[in-house]
A = this chain, B = another copy of it.
């Protein structure tokens, strides 16, 4: 609540940071409490003052990860003027998603990359949170579609999964420095909305409509 943090709070955060970083790098099962403790400048036994089990630690890391992206994307929409053009709304969402993923990324990246390999019970509890986040993206895309900014002859669900795939996969290859995250967001939006086909290569619905017009 207040600005001051108890010693316990500070250690707790240090442990969580260390856990997120290690889970992300080595996976859940391969990460030992010893490694986490070392990265947090403690002994393994000391972790148990703050967490009851490795699983509890994992679950908190996962929760923080999903919450951060969810909040970031949500805020990107709330901060938008009501009359913002659909393209800008989508771009803001993509940018927020990528920035949270790649910039302050251990929690969010851990969530993404170890999700399929965690204990079944924990995964079941995570699913509703992922669904809620997915629904947020569904609303964003559907709003753009209703505003006439997206074609209506595509499967919105598949578009969403392909888009989220392109975004989430970036945790596997993105290295800071080479390209800015904003430039990446631009690329994603360009591909999503306009595609990268040269004009003469366009075919199918969009090109046909243009010919008619």
Contact = CB atoms under 8 A, between A and B. Distances in A.
Contacts of A198: 148-152
Interface string A66-95: 000000000000000000001100000000
A149 to B, nearest CB: 4
Interface string A180-213: 0000100110111111111111111111011001
A148 B198 CA distance: 7
A25 B164 CA distance: 21
Contact of A202 (B154, B193, B200): B193
A49 interface: no
A30 to B, nearest CB: 4
Contacts of A196: 150-151, 154, 159, 192-193, 195
Interface centre among A115, A197, A213 (most CB of B within 10 A): A197
Contacts of A154: 187, 190-191, 196
Contacts of A169: 161-162, 164-166, 168-169
A187 B201 contact: no
A117 interface: yes
The binding surface of chain A is classed by DSSP as helix
Count identical subunits in the complex.
2
Interface residues of A, number: 59
A187 B116 contact: no
Contacts of A213: 199
Contacts of A193: 195-197, 201-202
B179 A207 contact: no
Interface in A90-148: 113-117, 148
A28 B116 CA distance: 11
A162 to B, nearest CB: 4
Listed from nearest, the 4 A-B pairs whose CB atoms lie closest are A165-B169, A27-B117, A193-B197, A195-B195
